[in-house]
Amino acid sequence: MSMGLVQVGAATPPDMVMGGIIATSFAILTGSDPETAVAIAIPIAVLGQLLGVTFRTIIAALGHRADAAIEKGNFREATNYHIVWGTILYSTMYFIPVFLAIYLGTDFVQGIVDAVPAWFTNGLNFAAKLLTAYGLSLLLSMMASKGMMVFFLLGFFGCAYLGLDVTGISIFGVLLALILMSVKYQGGSAATAAAGIDDDYDPLEDDEL
């Protein structure tokens, strides 16, 4: 189950940490089997996902407040936003739900999950997908160069039309990088010979030869 719950970029999967802590605690306290613990962990992880999106929204607002404080020269205030308030919010995000879940029981947690309206859940899911697209756009903006886009398109069309999975594309990417490195640096002996002739030769500038 954990293979499908890996956070990539801005994607927010169900919170396996919160679900695992609470489900393990319930299993130990009640003497349940692992299958029951897994069944308990799923709704708790979904609730943790909603809390995680809300928490990241608040943290983003604190980041803007910190930027404004830095522009005004209030560095101590900016430090408090990042270190003090961010740490407190992140701690309470896990402490309060875990404490209440253990203290009040699984029925209470399930009741909260069922009480969350569908429009709110759909809105958070839409926001998570939008943040994922935005994060990929930021990555592409850094990769959008003549030298890098060809490799991005090669991997994309390899997945789309050749039926290769991400692992296969990654293996071919590593092999292609090794081949290109050997082609690029196979003239190293010639560059070394040129260094003996030119006293001003800089080995860090061999790309310009």
Quick check: 173 pLDDT over 70? Answer: yes
- Contact (Cβ atoms closer than 8 angstroms) between residue 5 and residue 14: yes
The number of CA neighbours under 13 Å toward the Cβ of 66 is 16
Q: Alpha carbon of 24 to those of 37, 107, 138, 141, 201: distances in Å?
A: 6, 16, 38, 42, 63
Quick check: 183 pLDDT over 60? Answer: yes
- Contact (Cβ atoms closer than 8 angstroms) between residue 109 and residue 47: yes
Residue type at 30 in one-letter notation: T
* Phi, psi torsion values for 37, nearest 5 degrees: -65, -40
Find the helix or strand (DSSP H, E) in which 48 lies.
helix 34-71
Give the Cα separation of 86 and 59 in Å (integer): 7
pTM for this structure? Answer: 0.48
Query: Poorest-confidence range of 36-50, 53-67, 118-132?
Result: 118-132
Quick check: 6 pLDDT over 70? Answer: no
DSSP-derived secondary structure letter, 203? G
Task: Give the DSSP letter string of 81-124.
Answer: IIIIIHHHHHHHHHHHHHHHHHHH-HHHHHHHHHHS-HHHHHHH
Give the Cα separation of 93 and 85 in Å (integer): 12
* Phi, psi torsion values for 32, nearest 5 degrees: -80, 165
- Contact (Cβ atoms closer than 8 angstroms) between residue 54 and residue 121: no
- Contact (Cβ atoms closer than 8 angstroms) between residue 55 and residue 93: yes
Q: Which tens digits make up the pLDDT trace of 138-156?
A: 667 776 777 777 888 888 8
Quick check: 109 pLDDT over 80? Answer: no
